[in-house]
């Protein structure tokens, strides 16, 4: 074998391309001894001489942080390579020359290959390889490794490096390193030749970086007292941060006069000028989200229509079953629970589909990343990421949509906390009940009630963040962030629809299970199996009334409060039926369909419910668990029954505490 060539470079520097171009089919792939890191070796013949090539594992540097780096270093230090080919990416020399800078100080001959010359040319970059060669003292060439027919310059550089035994001129790097506190002293303490094939400069730098392998090597090469001095100097040197700075300074000096490129302007697009503006950023983002929310109703319509069509089947199916002699109980179960549940699920599913599609689209085109940035600092105060604002705003329309939208939050704890806080946001169903009840009981004062609810919502979110934040969001999750915003681009519709349809299907199966279970339970409690007998719900209501009074609600209002856990708009149906002596089963059915208010409900309520009770009830249903579908969505997104139950229990208890407080405040006023 004439010589062994080792290919050294960072990942994506083109090592494998060069390796394949050199060896063709004459290569062997295995593993490095005792490691799972791939070992690639091969041979090639040129001018009658055979050369061995080792494709060293791709690594950022030569510091012993990973198996790849340790293997690479061991191979080079062992002297197995006669020459090392250092590869760098011409299109980003500032970054990719770091490996060369980290290699500087190793005495194994080397040459530098600036790969991807074609990409650099396309970027308008001109590189003077000869000037760089003069500064470095080793052969430097620029190639496109993919063009395997143009390797003449590569072989020429290789031959020169082998015959001249060229090593990198480190005088410039040493000058930069001299500004690192303690470097000169450390270098003096390490005699040249302490470790084979590496200079004392290189050992000194690695000692400052606290490289474990070098520290072990120095333990063998130096006396204990000298080692102690090195260690003491290292501690005050600034460590890897200081040496890294020096290497970057040296790289910049090397590239000065070597690399010519169009001056990179620090600028942003017009759209980013708006989104990232300290003044207009938040309004622009809120407007985008609101428009997205409105827009999400359009793709939601078909599924909502399916839901309505399923609901319309109740009558004909009930008649058909009655005609077939099926028992009333079974008809009630089929029509009032199963069909009604699926009608409800499909209507809600439409909204989920719409929200996922619209907000998935926003993410696809790059807007979601901007939303995340704009609200990051605000959300950080709650221990959340900026992206959390999206589920909150969506929750004004539907908490289930908000829970589904929390999917864009990548940290599980923050996602759960976001959903927990989103529950405090009154959903569209709540907003269909709150104004009506407020206007009925308080006339023009309804505005004050709504303002009080919004204020309570903010307070609730703050308290909830304090209650759950400690367990869900670790302290280290809240540090300053660097965000590399993606460029705006056209959406990949196929991928987006596959995602949205997949998620909608998944949601359907999961939600169906929970909704059917809960609805069946409510149905069992509210149905009179024996004609004339009181259903369980009534009996329970009478028993618990002394307790419910504490919360400002009689048992009928309390039952409506419980029904609001299934669907908030349905609470009106429940109190309508209960206060007008309607059947409990009908009341429950109304709760699910969100319909059927008695025409005289207003009169009946004013006659039977006091203002403090009304206020307590409004707050209780507003801040109660949003609905059973939101509960299912929460379980789906958190994948935690424990946290779903914990949040549900917290909101139920919180709603009752709030109603009690509000009731007693009401008693003071009225």
Q: Does 211 bind another protein (CB under 8 A)?
A: no
- Cα 264 from Cα 666, distance rounded (Å): 65
Give the H or E element holding residue 30.
strand 27-31
Q: Are 129 and 102 in contact (CB under 8 A)?
A: no
Name the minimum Å distance from CB 365 to another protein.
7
Which of these ranges, 391-399, 428-436, 486-494, 539-547, lies near another protein under the rule CB under 8 A? 486-494
State which residue, 356 or 614, has the beta carbon closest to another protein: 356
- CB 390 → another protein: shortest distance, Å? 12
**Residues 130, 156, 241, 455: which binds another protein (CB under 8 A)?**
241
CB of 495 to another protein, least distance (A): 3
- At residue 55, the 3 state secondary structure works out as strand
Q: Rounded to the nearest whole angstrom, what is the least distance from the CB of residue 177 to another protein in the complex?
A: 15
Q: Which residues lie below 8 Å from residue 205, measured CB to CB, with a gap of 6+?
A: 105, 177, 183, 243
Min. distance of Cβ 85 from another protein in angstroms? 22
Question: What's the min distance (Å) between Cβ of 638 and another protein?
Answer: 7
Q: Does 380 bind another protein (CB under 8 A)?
A: yes
Does residue number 260 form part of the binding site for another protein (CB under 8 A)?
A: no
38 strand-pairing partners: 31
E strands, 505-600, in order: none
User: What secondary structure letter does DSSP report for 20?
Assistant: H
Q: Of 137, 366, 428, 435, which one interacts with another protein (CB under 8 A)?
A: 366
Q: Looking at 365, 439, 540, 595, which residue binds another protein (CB under 8 A)?
A: 365
CA distance 402 to 455: 20
| Contact status, residue 37 vs residue 71, Cβ threshold 8 Å | yes
Total residues found in the chain within this entry: 670
By rule CB under 8 A, what count of residues binds another protein?
A: 70
Which range, of 29-37, 180-188, 261-269, 558-566, touches another protein by CB under 8 A?
261-269
Interface stretch with another protein, choices 18-26, 263-271, 535-543, 618-626 (CB under 8 A): 263-271
Encoded one letter per residue, x for contact with another protein by CB under 8 A and - for no contact, window 619-658 reads: -----------------xxxxx------------------
Edge-to-edge strands, sheet with 27-31: 27-31, 38-46, 49-55, 3-9, 83-89, 110-115, 140-142
Residues 6+ apart with CB under 8 A from 345: 307, 508, 511, 512, 515, 629
What is the DSSP pairing of strand 110-115 with strand 126-127?
unpaired
User: Among 62, 504, 116, which Cα is nearest to 303's?
Assistant: 504
- The single residue among 131, 221, 240, 595 that binds another protein, judged by CB under 8 A, is 240
Q: Which of residues 38-97 bind another protein (CB under 8 A)?
A: 60-61, 63, 65, 92, 94-95
Residue pair 210/240 in contact (Cβ under 8 Å)? The answer is yes
User: The tokens of 37 are what?
Assistant: 């890191």
| Among 73, 407, 556, 568, interactor with another protein by CB under 8 A | 407
Q: Please pick, from the candidates 203, 208, 349, 408, the single residue that binds another protein as defined by CB under 8 A.
A: 408
Cβ neighbours of residue 623 under 8 Å, at least 6 residues apart? 424, 426, 456, 457, 460, 651, 654, 655, 658
The radius of gyration of the chain from alpha carbons, rounded to an integer in Å, stands at: 36
Instruction: Look up residue 467 and give its two tokens.
Output: 């209650």
Distance CA 34, CA 556 (A): 73
581 touches another protein by CB under 8 A: no
Select the residue interacting with another protein from 155, 280, 412, 431 (CB under 8 A). Answer: 412
Interaction with another protein in 276-315: which residues (CB under 8 A)?
276
The contact mask relative to another protein for 456-475 (x = CB under 8 A, - = no) is: -------------------x
- Piece of the chain touching another protein by CB under 8 A; list 172-180, 229-237, 487-495, 660-668: 487-495
**Least CB distance to another protein at residue 328 (A):** 38
Out of 485, 540, 604, 661, which residue is the one contacting another protein (CB under 8 A)? 485
Phi and psi at residue 238, to the nearest 5°: 100, -5
- Cβ atoms within 10 Å, residue 407: 18
Q: Where are the alpha helices (DSSP H) in 209-296?
A: 212-221, 224-235, 239-255, 270-275, 281-295
Binding-site member from 232, 410, 432, 517 for another protein (CB under 8 A): 410
Nearer to another protein, 214 or 430 (CB): 214
Residues that bind another protein (CB under 8 A): 60-61, 63, 65, 92, 94-95, 98, 209, 240-241, 244-245, 248, 264, 266-268, 272, 276, 360, 363-366, 368-369, 372-373, 376-377, 380, 386-387, 407-413, 415, 475-486, 489, 491-492, 494-496, 498-499, 502-503, 506, 636-640
């Amino acid at each position: 074998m004439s010589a062994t060539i080792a290919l050294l470079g960072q990942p994506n520097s083109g090592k494998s391309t060069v390796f394949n171009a050199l060896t063709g089919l004459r290569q062997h792939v295995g593993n490095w001894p005792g490691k799972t890191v791939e070992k690639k070796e091969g041979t090639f013949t040129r001018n009658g001489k055979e050369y061995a090539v080792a494709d060293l594992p791709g690594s950022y540097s030569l510091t012993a942080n990973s198996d790849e780096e340790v293997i690479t270093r061991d191979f080079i230090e062992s002297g197995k390579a006669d020459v090392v080919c250092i590869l760098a990416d011409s299109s980003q020399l500032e970054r990719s020359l770091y490996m060369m800078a980290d290699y500087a100080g190793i005495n194994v001959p080397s040459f530098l290959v600036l790969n991807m010359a074609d990409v650099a040319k396309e970027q308008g970059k001109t590189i003077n390889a000869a000037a760089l060669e003069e500064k470095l003292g080793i052969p430097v060439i620029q190639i496109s490794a993919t063009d395997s027919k143009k390797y003449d310059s590569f072989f020429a550089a290789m031959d020169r490096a082998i015959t001249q035994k060229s090593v990198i001129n480190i005088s410039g790097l040493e000058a930069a390193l001299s500004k690192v506190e303690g470097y000169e002293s450390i270098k003096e303490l390490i005699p040249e030749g302490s470790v084979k094939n590496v200079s004392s400069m290189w050992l000194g730098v690695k000692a400052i970086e606290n490289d474990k392998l070098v520290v072990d090597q120095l333990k063998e090469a130096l006396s204990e007292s000298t080692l102690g001095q090195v260690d003491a100097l290292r501690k005050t040197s600034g460590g890897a941060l200081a040496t890294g700075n020096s290497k970057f300074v040296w790289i910049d000096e090397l590239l000065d006069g070597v690399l010519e490129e169009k001056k990179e302007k620090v600028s942003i697009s017009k759209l980013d000028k708006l989104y990232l503006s300290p003044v207009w950023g938040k309004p622009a983002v809120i407007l985008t989200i609101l428009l997205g929310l409105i827009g999400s109703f359009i793709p939601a319509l078909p599924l909502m229509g399916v839901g309505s069509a399923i609901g319309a089947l109740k009558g004909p199916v009930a008649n058909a079953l009655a005609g077939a002699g099926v028992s009333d109980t079974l008809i009630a179960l089929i029509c009032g629970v199963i069909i009604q549940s699926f009608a409800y699920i499909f209507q809600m599913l439409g909204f989920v589909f719409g929200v996922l599609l619209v907000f998935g689209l926003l993410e696809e085109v790059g807007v979601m990343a901007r939303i995340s940035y704009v609200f990051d600092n605000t959300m950080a105060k709650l221990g959340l990421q900026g992206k959390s604002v999206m589920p909150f705003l969506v929750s004004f329309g539907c908490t289930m949509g908000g829970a589904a939208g929390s999917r864009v939050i990548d940290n599980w704890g923050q996602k759960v906390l976001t959903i927990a806080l989103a529950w405090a946001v009154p959903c569209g169903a709540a907003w269909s009940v709150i104004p009506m009840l407020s206007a009925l009981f308080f006339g023009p004062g309804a505005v004050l009630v709504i303002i009080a609810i919004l204020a309570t919502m903010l307070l609730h979110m703050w308290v909830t963040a304090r209650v759950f934040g400690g367990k869900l969001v670790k302290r280290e999750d809240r540090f300053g962030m660097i965000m590399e915003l993606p460029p705006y681009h056209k959406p990949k519709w196929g991928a987006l629809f596959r995602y949205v349809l997949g998620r909608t299907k998944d949601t359907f199966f999961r939600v169906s299970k929970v909704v059917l279970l809960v609805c069946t339970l409510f149905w069992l409690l509210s149905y009179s199996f024996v004609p004339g007998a009181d259903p369980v719900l009534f009996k329970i209501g009478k028993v618990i009334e002394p307790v419910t009074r504490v919360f400002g609600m009689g048992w009928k209002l309390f039952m409506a409060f419980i029904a609001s856990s299934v669907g908030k708009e349905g609470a009106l149906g429940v109190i309508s039926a209960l206060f007008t002596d309607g059947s409990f089963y009908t009341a429950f059915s109304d709760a699910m369909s969100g319909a059927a208010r008695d025409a005289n409900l207003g009169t009946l309520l004013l006659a039977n419910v006091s203002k403090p009770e009304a206020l307590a009830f409004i707050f209780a249903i507003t801040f109660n668990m949003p609905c059973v579908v939101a509960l299912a969505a929460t379980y789906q997104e958190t994948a935690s029954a424990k946290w779903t139950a914990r949040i549900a229990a917290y909101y139920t208890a919180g709603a009752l505490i709030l109603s009690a407080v509000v009731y007693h405040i009401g008693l003071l006023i009225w």
